[in-house]
Amino acid sequence: MSTYKELDIYIDGACSGNPGDASIGIVFSHGEEPVKNISKYIGSQTNNIAEYTALVVALQEANAMKIKSVRIYSDSELLCRQMNGAYKVKNENLKNLYDQAQVLRRGFENFSLYQIPREKNKGADKLARLAIKKNSHPK
């Protein structure tokens, strides 16, 4: 399906309220070349659930694209530290998504996850916020 063997993937979760309307934004790129974007509303969730959902969806999509090597970039300190083993996952709702992500990551020859400053994650953030905007209903 894909002509790429490796991708850079920027992920973000957004919430309007916490919990509240939540969404994910994912930017797939090969160097500077954009490959694919995902902007998806996920209902009422916490921000951390949105961050993890973005990771799981990104890994599922990269797997479906037959990508061998992924470099994931996220501005979520919690997600990065938990996935890289520095923090334990105590929240049961996150544990499920964490476990899914750990299984999915093993499907790649190379997997790396980096925490980046928020200002370096503008593309994924914009996609996540757009999905909330499109799906939120006036109260």
Per-domain residue ranges for the chain? 6-135
Q: Residues 38-97: pLDDT tens digits?
A: 999 999 999 999 999 999 999 999 999 999 999 999 999 999 999 999 999 999 999 999
Q: What is the pLDDT of residue 1?
A: 47
For 6-135, CATH number? 3.30.420.10
pTM, two decimals, is 0.95
What are the CB-based long-range contacts (under 8 Å, 24+) for 36-45?
Answer: 36/61, 36/65, 37/123, 37/127, 38/127, 39/127, 39/128, 39/130, 39/131, 40/131, 41/131, 41/132, 41/134, 41/135, 44/19, 44/20, 45/15, 45/19, 45/20
Please, which pLDDT band fits residue 3 given cuts at 50, 70 and 90?
confident
